[in-house]
Structure 1
Amino acid sequence: MYTDIAIEHFTNPRNVGVIEDYDGMGEAGDPSCGDYLKIYIKVENDFVKDIKFKVHGCAGAIASSSMTTELAKNKPVMAAFAITEGDIINALGGLPEEKVHCSLLGALALKKAIIDYAKTRNKDDNSL
């Protein structure tokens, strides 16, 4: 059963869309269920100033993607990079056991977007 927070993020997802002039973009998918997520970030002064996502997936994937963007927005890049699937699940107040894997998509796509940002800025991944 979904929590009220998860239902709110599924029915009213935050930060949906594309940032055309993004600084980093990350993708993650789950071939077993067909969920697919893209996260776009805009960074200013080493803070995630804007973040958007597009997802093709179930209620759990939509809620997790929405919460991922809320957790990362306006955070220092390193703090956003440290967001885990556990952080996403906790912020949603839990997910049904069979939907826990959805939170991994958000954490993974966010990390990939930040790595993409670091690479395009000629930084090595250890100096984010």
Structure 2
Amino acid sequence: MRYSDAVHDHFDNPRNIGAIEHPDAAAEVSNPACGDIMHLTLRIVDARITEAKFKTMGCPAAIAAGSVTTELLIGRSVNEPIPLTRVEVNEALGGLSPQKVHTSVLAEDAVKAAVRDYHRRQGK
């Protein structure tokens, strides 16, 4: 499988790996077809994501998607309908092959689930 330079960079040097202690939002999503699992935790201040961390079990593209997702999320509002889309993740990774585009879907699903968790915690 041929990966872009961005996928290689985020796989070889993942950013924001781990979990935030006492996060303001958390989510774990999986893709039953391939077995990839992504755990995302967020720190949110004044409705803005100030910190994001991830843990992913999966292929290099899934790990790269988790890494780039955390970078793209920081500074965004949790009040946007979808703070980060699969298209943005795919583009930031230099375009994923059709066989690996599901990893950007996994990232978007994790973001949506974490934002839902945040709003639930806020009583919204």
TM over 0.5: yes
Normalised by the size of structure 2, how large is the TM-score? 0.94
Conservation of the 8 A alpha-carbon contact between 2:76 and 2:83: no
List aligned pairs for 1:23-102, cutoff 5 A. 23-79=24-80, 81-102=82-103
Q: Which moved more, 1:78-87 or 1:29-38?
A: 78-87
Tell me which protein shows more helix as a share of its residues: 1
Alpha-carbon offset, residue 79 of structure 1: 4.3
Give a deviation string over 1:69-97, Cα, whole Å, max 9, x none: 11101222234833111110011111122
1:16 and 1:30 mapped to 2: Cα distance? 20
Q: How many residues align?
A: 123
User: 3-state SS of the aligned residue for 1:107?
Assistant: helix
Conservation of the 8 A alpha-carbon contact between 2:82 and 2:112: yes
Conservation of the 8 A alpha-carbon contact between 1:71 and 1:80: no
1:12 aligns with 2:13: yes
Alpha-carbon offset, residue 37 of structure 1: 0.5
Moved over 4 A (4+): none
1:80 and 1:3 mapped to 2: Cα distance? 29
Alpha-carbon offset, residue 6 of structure 1: 1.2
Q: Which runs of 5+ in 1 are unaligned?
A: 124-128
2:10 and 2:106 mapped to 1: Cα distance? 16
Conservation of the 8 A alpha-carbon contact between 1:72 and 1:80: no
Identical columns (%): 39
CA RMSD of aligned residues (A): 1.3
Q: Which runs of 5+ in 2 are unaligned?
A: none
2:9 and 2:93 mapped to 1: Cα distance? 9
1:85 and 1:62 mapped to 2: Cα distance? 14
Partner of 2:111: 110
Normalised by the size of structure 1, how large is the TM-score? 0.91
